[in-house]
Structure 1
Amino acid sequence: MTVTLAPKSVPDRGSWRRGRVVAVFSALTAVLLLAHSLVPNAVGNAGSLLETFLPWTGLLLVPLFVAALIRRSALALVSLLLPALVWGGFFGGRLFDRTADGGDFTVVSHNVNDENPDPAGTARALAATGAQVIALEELKKPEVPKYEDALAAGYPHHVVRGTVGVWSTFPLHGTEPLEIMPWTRALRTTVDTPKGPVALFVAHLPSVRVRLDGGFTADGRDEAIGLLAGELAATPSPRTVLVGDFNGTADDRALGPITARMRSVQEAAGDGFGFSWPAALPLARIDQIFVAGVRPVAAWTLPATASDHLPVAASLAL
C-alpha cells in the first residue's frame, strides 16, 4: 500500500519580493507630501497648484492599494503605511470635530457670485444663521440694493466699498477701501462689539486659472496677498479678523505672509476640511476666515445658496 503525504505548506516568500514598483510609488507619494514645499513655483506655480489640492493626495493610495492586492504583495501593502502615516500626520486631525460651544459673536463670509440669480434669497439665507457680522464678496453694483433691502431689518449697520461689503448688528466705523488691487475688492472697518473693537478686513483676491500654456496663473493674487499682509501689519488693533475669497487654500505657500501672523479658524476649530468651492462639488477651501488676538470656537460651512461658493462661518470668542 502506498501512502501519499500531503506537502507541508510553504510560506509564500515571493509576496515580499513582488510589488516593488508599487512600493517605490508609495515611497514617492510619501516624499511628495513631506517635501511639497520644495516643489518649485518657478514653472507654472506648480508648488502652489499642488498645495491647493494637497489633501487630495491621499487618493493616490487607492490605486496603489488595489495594485498591491492584485499583485498579492506583502511588500506593497506594508509600504503603503508610510504615505498613510505621513498623510495622517498632515491632515488626520482635520477629520475630527474640533468645534466647541460658546463664543461672543458669529461672522459669516460669502462670495455671492456677481451672476447670482437670487440675491435677496441668498441674503435671507445668510441672515437666518443669526450671525452678528456678514461679509459679502463679488457684489454687483446694481444688485447691492437687493442685499440691502433683504438685510435691513436685522443688520442696521452696513458698509460697501467696491465689490465687498459688511452688514452688522454692531456699529461700524473707520471704514476704508484697501488699495491692494487696481480696483476696489477689499476693505477695512472696525466692529464695535460689546466686548470692545475688532478690526475686520474683507478681501476678494484676484482669480487664478490653470492653463496648459501657462500653468497655474496666480501672480496677480500673490501680489495682492503681499499688499494685504502689509495692511494687516500696519493695523494697531490687538484683535483682527480677516475674511473673504482668497482663491487659495491655507496650505498654499502663497498665503504664507498671512498664515504666518493669523490662524485659520477651520484648522483650529473646524469640523472636517470645510471645502467651500465649487458649491456643487467642493474640492478646496478657498473662502477663508483668519483671526489674530481672537479665539476661534467653531468653524463650519453653510448650505449652498444660489452662488458657486459655499458660505463659511465661525464663532469667535473675545
Structure 2
Amino acid sequence: MSEGGRTMTQVDTAETGQGSPAARNGFRPGPWKRGPVIAAMALLLGLFMLLHSKIPNGTGGLGSLAETFLPWFGVFVPVLLAGALWRRSASAVVALLLPVTVWLNLYGGLLGDKSHPGGDLTVVSHNVGADNPDPAGTARDLAAAGADVLALEEITPQARGTYERELAKAYPYHAVRGTVGLWSRLPLSGTRPVDIEQDVGPLGDAKPVEARMADYRALRTTVATDQGPLAVYVAHLGSVRVNPRTGFWTDSRDRNARALGTALAAERNERVVLLGDLNGTMDDRALDGITSQLHSVQDVSGDGFGFTWPAKFPMVRIDHVLVRGVQPESSWLLPATGSDHRPVAAGISW
C-alpha cells in the first residue's frame, strides 16, 4: 500500500529511524571514542612543546625557529578545546591536559606580577632603530624615564650626535663603540669594545681595523656605584632572517652569541649586567652560552611576557636585561618610540 506517494515500508523506516546501521543497532559512539583526531592533535601539541629541544637545528634552523615562537603554541589549546567540546569528546579533553601542563610549566611563572618595589639602580636598554625618523624625540623620551644607566643599540653615525646632545644633560657620562653606547649618571671606566664578530668579514676574511671599529656591536664598561664596581655589557647580536630557501638564517647571530658567551665567561667581576638586543628569546638554544651564565630579569621580576618586537604588535622578546651577582626587583616595558623595538627597563639591587 502507499500513503502520500510512499510505500508503507518507507514510512515505517523513516518513522522508526531504522535507515542507518547505527540507529538499527541502537549504537552511538561514546564520549571516550569521539574526537580521536582532536585527541591526537592535542597529544602531538603537548609532545612538541615538551620535546622542543630535540627538534634538529641543522636544517633551516627549525629548532631555533620553533623556540622563538614557542609561547604562542599555547593559543592552539583553546582552539582544540572548542573542538573537543563541540564533539563532546572526553578523550580529547583529557588529552589536552598534556599541552596545558607543559605550557604552564614553561610559562606559567610569567603570568603573574613578580615585581618588588625599590631597587638600587634602574637600567634601560633600547634598540633605537637605524631607520628611526625621530632620534631626538626618542632620546628625550628615554631621558624622561629616569634610568640611572641607559644602553642604546643600532646607533647610526648620522644619529650619534643627536643622542649625545639630547642625553648630555641627564647623563654626564657616556661611551659609544661602533653601533652601541652606554649613558650613565654614574662614572664609567675601563670602557672597551667587545669584538663579537671575532674579526671575521662576510667572506670569512679578516676585517681591517677601521672596519672593525665602525662595526663594533658590543662594549664592556665599569659603572662606579656606591656598592662597588658593576660590569655592564651592551650588545646587539646579528640579525636573523626567515628565507624560503634557507629557512631560519641565524649564522651571524649565533656566531655573535658564542663570542659574547666567551667574553662573559672571562669576566672577573662578580656583578654583571648585560643590556641589549640579542635577536633571540631566552628559549632559543643558540643563546645557551649566555643564559647559562646570566639570568633574565623578566623571569624573576617581570609582569607578563614583556614582548618587545615588533613595536606595533610585539610578538617576541628579543631585547633583554640579564644579570649575575645582583638581585632583580622589577622589570617592565617603556612606551614605544620611533623605533621598531620597545625599550626594556629593570630595577636591580645588591
Structure 1, residues 10-64: CA drift from partner, whole Å, max 9, x if none?
Answer: 9976121101111111111111111000001011110010000111110111321
Match of 1:228 among 240, 254, 260: 260
The answer on 1:88 being equivalent to 2:104 is yes
The answer on 1:24 being equivalent to 2:56 is no
Distance 2:332 2:62 in 1: 29
- What secondary structure sits across from 2:81 in the alignment? helix
The answer on 1:244 being equivalent to 2:260 is no
Superposed, 1:1-318 pairs within 5 Å as 14-181=30-197, 182=200, 183-318=215-350
Aligned-partner residue type, residue 90 of structure 1: L
Equivalenced residue count is 309
Distance 2:78 2:28 in 1: 24
| Residue ranges of structure 1 left out of the alignment (5+ in a row) | 1-9
CA deviation after TM superposition for structure 1 residue 281, in Å: 0.4
| Residue ranges of structure 2 left out of the alignment (5+ in a row) | 1-25, 201-214
When residues 11 and 191 of structure 1 are mapped into structure 2, their CA distance, relative to the original with a 3 A threshold, is: farther
Distance 1:90 1:115 in 2: 35
- What secondary structure sits across from 2:31 in the alignment? helix
- What secondary structure sits across from 1:16 in the alignment? coil
Aligned-partner residue type, residue 81 of structure 1: L
Distance 2:230 2:27 in 1: 68
Percent sequence identity is 54
Distance 2:325 2:305 in 1: 23
CA deviation after TM superposition for structure 1 residue 67, in Å: 1.6
Distance 2:217 2:308 in 1: 20
**Runs of 4+ more than 3 Å apart:** 10-13
Q: CA RMSD in A?
A: 1.4
Distance 2:341 2:91 in 1: 43
CA deviation after TM superposition for structure 1 residue 70, in Å: 2.4
Return the TM-score normalized by structure 2: 0.86
Distance 1:12 1:121 in 2: 67
- What secondary structure sits across from 1:14 in the alignment? coil
CA deviation after TM superposition for structure 1 residue 89, in Å: 1.0
When residues 11 and 276 of structure 1 are mapped into structure 2, their CA distance, relative to the original with a 3 A threshold, is: farther
Structure 1, residues 129-171: CA drift from partner, whole Å, max 9, x if none?
Answer: 1100000000011111111111111100001110000000000
Distance 1:272 1:117 in 2: 29
Return the TM-score normalized by structure 1: 0.95
Distance 1:231 1:76 in 2: 49
- What secondary structure sits across from 1:189 in the alignment? strand
Q: Which residue of 2 aligns with 1:5?
A: none
